Amino acid sequence: MPHARRPDVSPSHPHHVTVRMRRGTWNLRAQRCYQPLLQAFRGVRKRSGFRVTHFSVQGNHVHMLVEGADRRAMSNGLRALLIRFARALNGVMGARGSRFQDRYHESVLETASAVRRCLRYVLENHARHMARIGKMGPAVDPFSSAPWFDGYRADVLLPRAMGDPPIATARSWLLANGWRRLGLLPGHLEESRSRGPDRVTKRPCSSGQSPYRHSPFTSRRSMP
């Protein structure tokens, strides 16, 4: 069965990308896997025409908000990032070959409300997974780009950001400023609990330890 055509890419519209790992891949939220993934993100941070602006790492998949100058830049940037993911994980696991279940899934975000919903969906993804099994997850996920995110309300406590930023600054109006007109994020699940970032159907395209140190949280105002 032929793969579905990738959506068009415009610098004005960010994309939501989900990458799932194949069975047998170690827990991505373990520090032995998470730290190499952070380095992979840092490795493409200055890539021309491609930016990962937000992400969250779950046990067996990764959510990302990305921007691209065009289809070629987007595809090549994601390919470079996924190669880094696979090499990093195989190095930790002493394994070889692909680490991905299928081709990545990708959807286009065309409105400010869709971007805001997707930001919440990505950054709160672990809390949503925990809520489904009746458990309480952290309001702000430390295994995500949240420590480097400036879009939370002033009273939200953030995990301390460690090391160089693994993400690039958004350049599209929708992702840099547009969604903020609808309100900064509260850092918890008090608003509408949609199953995904938007009601638009995604286009499926086939392609341990806590990170906290001594002080688990620091307010956005006190961050260096």
Tens digit of pLDDT at every position of the chain (224 positions) = 566 789 999 999 999 999 999 999 999 999 999 999 999 999 999 999 999 999 999 999 999 999 999 999 999 999 999 999 999 999 999 999 999 998 999 999 999 999 999 999 999 988 888 888 888 777 789 999 999 999 999 988 888 898 999 999 999 999 999 999 999 999 765 544 444 444 333 333 333 333 333 222 233 333 33
Please write the tens of the pLDDT for every residue from 154-164.
988 888 898 99
As a whole number of angstroms, the distance between CA 4 and CA 17 comes to 15
As a whole number of angstroms, the distance between CA 211 and CA 141 comes to 10
**For residue 224, what pLDDT is reported?**
32
Q: What is the pTM of this model?
A: 0.81
Token pair 């610098």 is at which residue? 11
Q: Are 107 and 16 in contact (CB under 8 A)?
A: yes
Q: Are 21 and 101 in contact (CB under 8 A)?
A: yes
Please write the tens of the pLDDT for every residue from 38-64.
999 999 999 999 999 999 999 999 999
Q: What is the domain partition of the chain in residue ranges?
A: 15-222
**Maximal C-alpha separation, the chain:** 53
The verdict on domain 15-222 having CATH code 3.30.70.1290 is yes
Which residues are bridge partners to 21 per DSSP? 100
**For residue 150, what pLDDT is reported?**
94
